[in-house]
A and B are shown apart, each in its own frame.
Chain A
Amino acid sequence: MALSYLRSSSSRSANFLKPLSSAASLRRPISTDTTPITVETSVPFTSHQCEAPSRSVETNPSELLTFFRDMALMRRMEIAADSLYKAKLIRGFCHLYDGQEAVAVGMEAAITKKDCIITAYRDHCIFIGRGGTLLEVFAELMGRQAGCSKGKGGSMHFYKKDSNFYGGHGIVGAQVPLGCGLAFAQKYSKDETVTFALYGDGAANQGQLFEALNISALWDLPAILVCENNHYGMGTAEWRAAKSPAYYKRGDYVPGLKVDGMDALAVKQACKFAKEHALKNGPIILEMDTYRYHGHSMSDPGSTYRTRDEISGVRQERDPIERVRKLILSHDLATEKELKDIEKEVRKEVDDAIAQAKESPMPEPSELFSNVYAKSLGVESFGADRKEVRATLA
């Protein structure tokens, strides 16, 4: 079923790469150009209990090039993480996001840094989207001090408080109630901001999701639940795990929207729509139809439960970076060479960051005990006879 959908969308997509409004063929300076361009999304949105937004998305050359650059950076970062893992510099669990980059960049384009994002363990690219640096990513993956969590979190625990990125969670589904709590805090403080709580098709079957959705709908919280449906919950295909794989409909009384998650512009449109909706009417579910090229994590080859043909098929027909590249080229916003240069630049950036991260030291042994507790009311905990400080609640 999943494969037939992929095949049919490809024939339609070719028609919509032609621009609807003509762009001048003169070469303009591309990096800051904000002349609006309207592009149609690959497929129309499917909606549940609400009116779907329009297929025509407003964008501009600057944004498209930013999309390209950001996605290329994320792609390169994830592939580099793959090599580092195989070189045993990254240990434990490493869940890679390549193939799904459009969700991260599309979402960022629609919101501000005051809106909150919370996701599960496939968080490297969302962290970058929120403003994290490559150095922080690689250092954290390698367990070094320069990492965003000082090396104590690891791949599944990236956080960036100042840009409202709340992680980074290892237990499937547990981040959704947290996300609804963030939305509650936003409503409490009357911020006029929203929270995007991301989860996967595997987590969509968790009970706590429905509990949190019920409470959010009851209390009218500005919570947007985003199901990144890459069709496989680790090794189990969605049709084997969910009686109803229409995740956007699962909210029942909560409206939902199904989006082509490989199309960054569609993601952007959907997120914009969702933000407006959530601020007025409470929670909404977005289902991003996306795909991951790697296996579930580095310990999963990813080919025992799906065919290589399927993977390469999606890569050829729906790859998010290729889509944006074709868009840029067909609108004459940059030449092939310029795009290739961007990719080379990005590659170098990633390599530099890895080299820098490798130089960052491992955490000090005393860091084992720091940040277990917050410094609270100035308490220090002494040893049994008060002579030595066994643990400072720092």
Chain B
Amino acid sequence: MAAIFQGVGAAAALSSLPSNSFDSNKSVFSPRRSFSVRKGASFAVVRSDGTVNLNPKGRRTQQLIPNAVATKADSAAASSSSKPGHELLLFEALLEGLEEEMERDPRVCVMGEDVGHYGGSYKVTKGLAKKFGDLRVLDTPIAENSFTGMGIGAAMTGLRPVVEGMNMGFLLLAFNQISNNCGMLHYTSGGQFTIPIVIRGPGGVGRQLGAEHSQRLESYFQSIPGIQMVACSTPYNAKGLMKAAIRSENPVILFEHVLLYNLKERIPDEDYICNLEEAEMVRPGEHVTILTYSRMRYHVMQAAKTLVNKGYDPEVIDIRSLKPFDLYTIGNSVKKTHRVLIVEECMRTGGIGASLTAAITENFNDYLDAPIVCLSSQDVPTPYAGTLEEVTVVQPAQIVTAVEQLCQ
């Protein structure tokens, strides 16, 4: 499935060709089609002011996000009635996905701290306890190790719990349960048990939350065999990934980001899921492949705006699937552009970028014209001071510089 959704705002990209987003948004997978078709595709870009641009290839002025945390809805009035779908914020999209799955399957239940009566610390489970009752939306005590273990035990019998870590960092307390029981039980039992659990929660660097509340757990979990990891970045893929994760028979860890919960987007009314193993083509291009995920996607898109003005044509891919990597999409992109820049929020050592660098080098070394550049956060505990925190994560200016150096 393609998504040329640019996130915030009412812009939705449609294509007149059948090989496009809405068709492949059905709840069954459609086989992946080669991206080479895209080159000659004609796009119709519907912009927020209502004008339609056919074949914008020459102009490439898509709606880009000025900053990573967008809270203002723009031109909501103009867009609400005429277009299909409905507008909502990212946390509402997660809530919608969760609610739909809970209605669809009585075995789905939610466990976590303050998910029930409080409505969730980020409102992702708001209203669910009233609707589904205390046995399906469970407030747990502050005991991550044991309630994650309990979720896994319940999953062994066939229930489908969604375990919320109030902050991903707290799940470090449940690492043993996630690694040994969640990831490995399907294998060590010779296939007897499946663990259809979803573990989700917000992580990443926020706004001066301090070191312990700004952790990127995807780098710690990535080696665990048997789990799948996905990171959502837009309301569209948040809802889609949440639903796919709940329906999957495998344990899935869904990484959300603290700063992205208030992103607004128009999403389809009909039922859809996103492929858990697929990457998302955010912006096709020719000169360099920029691989990113979660919040860094928005920093990249902001940098892309500057790069376009400087005459570069970056291809931006939101990898979404952190384990396993979608080497198909990534590979095709590398074969086209021959240059790779990875922008991530993990720390330099042992992060997702490090693994991705290794994977690409192993598989596509012949296609690379330059060494892979990986921009990651600094290997430091995230400081509290705002200025220092800004320097810890990758900023758009650094991305622009890196692309310029890469494309020399």
Contact = CB atoms under 8 A, between A and B. Distances in A.
Contacts of A169: 180-181
A184 B150 contact: yes
Interface string A159-201: 1110000111111001011111110111111000000000000
A378 interface: yes
Interface stretch (B139-147, B300-308, B394-402): B139-147
Given A166-B156, A184-B154, A149 B109 contact: no
B8 to A, nearest CB: 30
Nearest to A165: B192
A176 B250 CA distance: 22
A370 interface: yes
A376 to B, nearest CB: 4
B154 A188 contact: yes
Given A218-B141, A384-B364, A181 B156 contact: yes
A185 B190 contact: no
Contacts of B84: none
B250 A376 contact: yes
A370 B153 contact: no
Nearest to A166: B156
B159 A185 contact: yes
A385 B146 contact: no
Interface residues of B, number: 53
Contacts of B193: 159, 161, 166
B331 A177 contact: no
A208 interface: yes
A381 interface: yes
A374 interface: yes
A371 B186 contact: yes
Given A214-B143, A215-B146, A381 B277 contact: yes
A226 to B, nearest CB: 16
A326 interface: no
Contacts of B138: 219
B244 interface: yes
B177 interface: yes
B154 A182 contact: yes
B53 interface: no
A174 B180 contact: yes
Given A208-B146, A377-B247, A378-B29, A372 B225 contact: yes
Contacts of B150: 177-178, 180-181, 184, 212, 215
Nearest to A386: B328
Contacts of A249: none
A178 B181 contact: yes
Nearest to A190: B135
A382 interface: yes
B73 to A, nearest CB: 34
A283 B248 CA distance: 32
Contacts of B247: 377
A5 interface: no
Contact of A149 (B135, B176, B189, B276): B189
Contact of A212 (B135, B149, B190): B149
A212 B146 contact: yes
Contact of B149 (A151, A168, A177): A177
- Count chain B CB atoms within 10 A of each CB in A150, A152, A178, A179 and give the residue with the most: A178
A235 interface: no
In this complex, which of A166, A184, A372 has the most chain B Cβ atoms within 10 angstroms of its Cβ? A184
27 contacts: A118-B153, A152-B187, A152-B190, A153-B188, A159-B190, A161-B192, A167-B185, A167-B189, A178-B149, A178-B153, A178-B181, A187-B135, A188-B154, A188-B159, A211-B141, A211-B143, A212-B143, A214-B143, A215-B143, A372-B186, A372-B225, A374-B191, A374-B194, A374-B196, A374-B250, A377-B248, A384-B363
Interface of B: 29, 109, 135, 138, 140-141, 143, 145-159, 176-177, 180-181, 185-194, 196, 225-226, 228, 244, 247-250, 276-277, 324, 327-328, 331, 363-364
Given A178-B156, A211-B141, 10 more contacts: A118-B153, A149-B192, A150-B190, A153-B190, A178-B149, A181-B152, A185-B153, A189-B157, A208-B143, A372-B186
